[in-house]
Structure 1
Amino acid sequence: MFRPRRRSSTPAPEGEAEPRPRRPKTREEQREALLAYAFRALGARAITEAELRGKLERRSEDPELVEEVLRRVQELGYQNDAEVARAENKRRGVGEMRVRQTLRRRGLGADLIEETLQARDPEQEQQQATDLLTKRWPALSRKRDPRASAYAFLARRGFGSSVIWLAIREVAELFPPDDAEE
């Protein structure tokens, strides 16, 4: 089994060369390394400017270098907060409040969040809530208070109360309670 050699302060055994100390990286090398890291981070998933800035600041102590790398990835079109907001807004099965909360947590500005939420289709959100509840209703209907459980389920997903109550009414009509079971 291969085990990497640990660095220690003890001298190397006779016949082995001492490891050479690393030379400090030049500013250009630091920039290239930070840029490569930014591309790897952006390749994993779409991240906001605030998230990327945080990642880069943990890697570099030079704020000018961090800003330079951020500008470069934005110039090249690899990072765009509006695209991140649009993608989050298109997620299925989550309501407006969840989208708002997620975008705020990810560091987007209030203006962009409001603009994103204005593009949401209320009818589509209502339909998604109803569809989610239709799938879950058989399990929820076995609970002591199915409507309260359904409300809590959709509220955790970020749907507003008006959307939730309308979905509950629609689904309850589709699945009338069985009097024989009660």
Structure 2
Amino acid sequence: MERDGEGGPRQSEQERQKARDDLLAYAFRALAGRALTEAELRTRLLRRTDDPALAAEVLARVQELGYQNDEAVARAEGQRGGVGGFRVRQTLKRRGVAEELIEDTLAARDPEAEREAAVALLERRWTALSRKRDPRASAYAFLARRGFGGSAIWAAIREVGARLGGAAGDVPDAEFELE
């Protein structure tokens, strides 16, 4: 067996091409199941090979073909319904998206649409939340866990409480000005 310059075994060109093809097929299978960020796909590829150059080559090829695009992943996450901007930021950060792209994604979100999403979620859960000891606190916690900001949460609580009644609707607006 031939040795490379560092004393390790050198792969033949055929073996390298086979490894590249196998890794490329794996990348396509991984991307077929879910849109992955560059960082997520790189991590998966590096688990399958000990050759970082090969993983980088496959990643570059997949990106060149348009199968992997962090902007598309960020845009899809930013348009997800039922979650607020804080959840979008957290998810994109965890998935390894660049901070600049996260900021662009959040800037593209409509604050009014976020408030409407919070209202819609709260309306669906209002019956259960209104039976709690402190419905406003429960509603706030519920929406905060979904990643909504304080202004969207309080606006939603005021609107849903006034429309559907219950403890939150009986409280004057002055009590909500905590921001």
User: How does the TM-score come out when normalised to structure 1?
Assistant: 0.83
2:22 to 24, 33, 36: 33
List per-residue Cα deviations over 1:117-175 (Å, max 9, x = no partner).
11101110000001110111011001111000000000000000111011000011012
How far does residue 176 in structure 1 lie from its aligned partner after superposition? Answer: 1.8
Give distance in 1, aligned partners of 2:75 and 2:128. Answer: 33
In terms of fraction of residues, the more helix-rich structure is 2
Alignment of 1:22-171 (within 5 A): 26-171=15-160
Larger radius of gyration between Structure 1 and Structure 2: 1
5+ residue gaps, structure 2: 1-11, 168-179
Q: Percent identity?
A: 66
Where 2:112 maps in the other structure, the secondary structure is helix
Where 2:109 maps in the other structure, the secondary structure is coil
How far does residue 102 in structure 1 lie from its aligned partner after superposition? Answer: 0.1
The runs of at least 4 consecutive aligned structure 1 residues that moved more than 3 Å come to: none
5+ residue gaps, structure 1: 1-23
Give distance in 1, aligned partners of 2:166 and 2:88. Answer: 33
List per-residue Cα deviations over 1:13-60 (Å, max 9, x = no partner).
xxxxxxxxxxx9700000000000000000001000000000000000
How far does residue 177 in structure 1 lie from its aligned partner after superposition? Answer: 2.6
Give distance in 2, aligned partners of 1:110 and 1:164. Answer: 25
Give distance in 2, aligned partners of 1:177 and 1:125. Answer: 23
User: How does the TM-score come out when normalised to structure 2?
Assistant: 0.85
Alignment RMSD (CA, Å): 1.5
Where 1:26 maps in the other structure, the secondary structure is helix
What is the identity, as a one-letter code, of the residue corresponding to 1:126? R
Give distance in 2, aligned partners of 1:115 and 1:146. Answer: 35
